[in-house]
Amino acid sequence: MTGTTPADARDLTSLTTWDADWKGLRVAVTGIGLSGFSVADTLIELGARVVVVDGSDSPENRAKADTLSIVGAVDVLLGTEHATRIPTIDGRQPDLVVTSPGWTPQQPLLRAAQDAGIPVWGDVELAWRVRIREGRPTAEWLTITGTNGKTTTVSLVESMLLAAGLRAVAAGNIGTPILDAIRDPQGYDFIAVELSSFQLHWTGYISPLASVCLNVAEDHVDWHGGFDQYTADKAKIYANTKVACVYNAEQPATERMVEEADVIEGCRAIGFTTSTPAVSMVGVVDDLLVDRAFIEQRKDSAVELAAITELGELVPRHLVANALAAAALVRAAGVEPAAIRTGIRNYQPTDHRIQLVSSQDGILWINDSKATNPHAAAASLSAFHSVIWIAGGLSKGVNYDELVQTHAKRLKAVVLIGTDSSDLASSLRRHAPDVPLIEAATGDTEKVTLADDSAPAPLGEQVMESAVRESARLAGDGDTVLMAPAAASMDQFSSYAHRGKAFIEAVRVIVEGQAKTAKEF
């Protein structure tokens, strides 16, 4: 950090509990989305003087601003002109900026704050500082990051903890803001915290009971400014871990992160592998998930945790890895094997992650819209043999060469979506020149039948309908149509969930022949 701390700034070192003296602290909150709203709401409750800044002056943001004004005294500044400079509070600079994870470190307001010596926290740092509250239990944190598999793993951790009879919740990047969990009136025994690289970038000091980086691959390099910076932020997950740093034994980069981490004395390194585990690892033996880390006789034996088949109908290798990582985390928390098995059985897979949509005429239709980068798409492609691959979208600055080279032999054809998938198309032409490459139409697609035939589909739905029609024309018995875009969705869809729903709906209408109603559309 450059610059010097403003002379009239408050000392923040004592702000380590809910009951500390937050009253009157001048705080600028950047972003009024889920995390930003929860930050502002929390700070208002603590008695801070808050101003919220968001570059979008949308009706949705105005409604959120109105809600915050009902909660307490807060100024909300909406519009691009406010996102370029440090706001003033009572005529002075803020003591603190708390930023939403979507704001990059190079965003003008955040750069100006750092240059001025104003501390910048994320919502996770604030949550850690207010987690201790008189009269409520203080939850232990189990923290999860990785390029892919975070949501699946954190959901499995939650399910296992609940099966053990513990009061637990999944929070953070999974959708429930961490501050909402912290403020729960009853409190929790454990919080399973999903952390993105964005959130980790803005953390200062957190000390989880156990932590894991599931994997690391090229993603979000545009936000971080490079792969090395992205990896360094991911590695922050292990700092100050108390009981167990869990790493991917099949990816040496995560083990190096553990080796280089500054942890609490006595913390153990625990590996997970989809092969036979060594000592101090969890892994697989004879299609069983086993623990060879948290038992006294680990030198010559292992304890069974669950059968792979208990994970569901489609169990790709990376799902096994995620379940093992989750098991290692909860074993560090003292959860017994029986609860892990029950938690796996109770687990409900999240939508849009290798989701079986239809099986018609020997063809599988799989929705993996959450595969927003090459690493995630690679995990999907490796689970199938003859694939019609629907892919493309916002690339986020990544390279597709390794993905295409590795999986070219699986590809029967590729159907491109996205407003500009030229990087992916270029890789395919170089490394899979014999694979047919079809671009989904964006304007002249056949309309999906509405109940009243009143309106054409929005552009994103039209593109997906075209992609599904082309895929249906190309696919035959034994093929898999896999929608795993290896790119972000926001060029043609509002989110990966919107993209996934568009695929599901197109398959339902085009492949299964079910007309949808105007209300459904």
pLDDT at site 313: 77
pLDDT digits (tens, 9 = 90+) for 117-157: 999 999 999 999 999 999 999 999 999 999 888 999 999 99
Instruction: Say which CATH architecture domain 127-346 belongs to.
Output: 3-Layer(aba) Sandwich (3.40)
- What is the structure's pLDDT at 94? 97
58-116 pLDDT tens trace: 999 999 999 998 888 799 999 999 999 999 999 999 999 999 988 989 899 999 999 99
Between CA 369 and CA 501 the distance in angstroms is: 9
Q: Are 183 and 44 in contact (CB under 8 A)?
A: no
Given a cut of 60, is residue 455 above it in pLDDT?
no
For residues 492 and 471, what is the distance between their CA atoms, to the nearest angstrom? 19
Q: Tell me how far apart the alpha carbons of residues 151 and 132 are, in angstroms, rounded to a whole number.
A: 26
**HSE on the CB side for 126, CA within 13 Å?**
33
Question: For 255-261, which contacts have Cβ atoms below 8 Å and span 24 or more sequence positions?
Answer: 257/213, 257/216, 257/231, 260/235, 261/235
| pLDDT for res 442 | 65
pLDDT higher than 60, residue 446: no
Helix (H, G, I), strand (E, B) or coil at 377: helix
Query: Apex CA 143: angle with CA 139 and CA 147, to 5°?
Result: 160
| Cα gap 218→75, rounded to integer Å | 39
On the question of pLDDT at 219 being above 90, the answer is: no
pLDDT score for 102: 84
pLDDT reported for residue 448: 37
Give the mean model confidence (pLDDT) for residues 8-37.
93
* Predicted pLDDT of residue 264: 98
pLDDT score for 73 = 79
Q: What is the pLDDT of residue 458?
A: 63
Indicate the pLDDT class of residue 2, thresholds 50, 70 and 90. very low
Q: Pick the residue with more confidence: 460 or 413? A: 413
Please report the pLDDT score of residue 453 as a whole number: 38
Instruction: Give the mean pLDDT of 229-241.
Output: 95
- Residue 73 CB contacts under 8 Å (≥ 6 apart), including other chains: 44, 49, 50
Residue 246 DSSP SS3: strand
Lowest mean pLDDT among 28-37, 258-267, 310-319, 438-447: 438-447
Give the CATH superfamily of 355-511.
Mur ligase, C-terminal domain (3.90.190.20)
**pLDDT classification of 456: cutoffs 50, 70, 90:** very low
pLDDT mean across residues, the chain: 90
According to the annotation, is 84 in a ligand binding site?
Answer: no
What does the pLDDT read at residue 239? 97
Q: Does the annotation list 80 as a binding residue?
A: no
pLDDT at residue 225, as a whole number? 64
Nearby residues of 255 by Cβ (< 8 Å), 6 or more positions away: 247, 248, 249, 269, 271
Residue 370 marked in a binding site:
no
**Domain with residues 26-118, CATH architecture:** 3-Layer(aba) Sandwich (3.40)
Residues 156-171: tens digit of each pLDDT: 999 999 999 999 999 9
8 Å CB contact between 368 and 354: yes
- What average pLDDT does the segment 277-284 reach? 98
Q: Which residue has better confidence, 515 or 213?
A: 213
Say how far apart CA 118 and CA 122 lie, in whole Å: 13
The label of the residue with tokens 């999974």 reads 174
Of 12, 82, 81, the C-alpha closest to 46 is: 12
pLDDT in tens, 387-412: 999 999 988 778 999 999 999 999 99
More confident residue, 315 or 200: 200
Judge whether residue 240 has pLDDT over 70. Answer: yes
Residue 449 has pLDDT above 50, yes or no: no
- What's the confidence (pLDDT) of residue 222? 64
350 known member of a binding site: no
Tokens in use for 166? 């513990």
- pLDDT tens, residue by residue, 339-357: 999 999 999 877 777 888 9
Q: Token match 């939403």: residue?
A: 100
How many C-beta neighbours within 10 Å does residue 195 have?
31
On the question of pLDDT at 310 being above 50, the answer is: yes
What is the per-residue pLDDT for 6?
57
Q: What percent of the chain has pLDDT over 70?
A: 92
SS3 210: strand
The residue among 9 and 203 whose pLDDT is bigger is 203
Same fold, 26-118 and 127-346: no
Reply yes or no on whether the pLDDT at 504 is more than 90.
yes
Domain boundaries, the chain: 26-118, 127-346, 355-511
CA-to-CA separations, 495 to 370, 439, 489, 498, 500, in angstroms, rounded: 9, 21, 6, 5, 9
Question: Is residue 419 marked as binding?
Answer: no
Residue 217 — very low, low, confident or very high, per pLDDT cuts 50/70/90? confident
Per-residue confidence (pLDDT) for residue 174, from 0 to 100? 85
What CA–CA distance (Å, rounded) separates 507 from 403?
26
Burial 266-302 (b: 16+ CB within 10 A, else e): ebbbbbbbbeebeebbbbbeeebbbbbbbeeebeeeb
% residues pLDDT > 90 (the chain): 76
Distances (CA, A) of 51 to 34, 43, 87, 301: 16, 10, 8, 58
Least confident of 118-132, 297-311, 437-451: 437-451
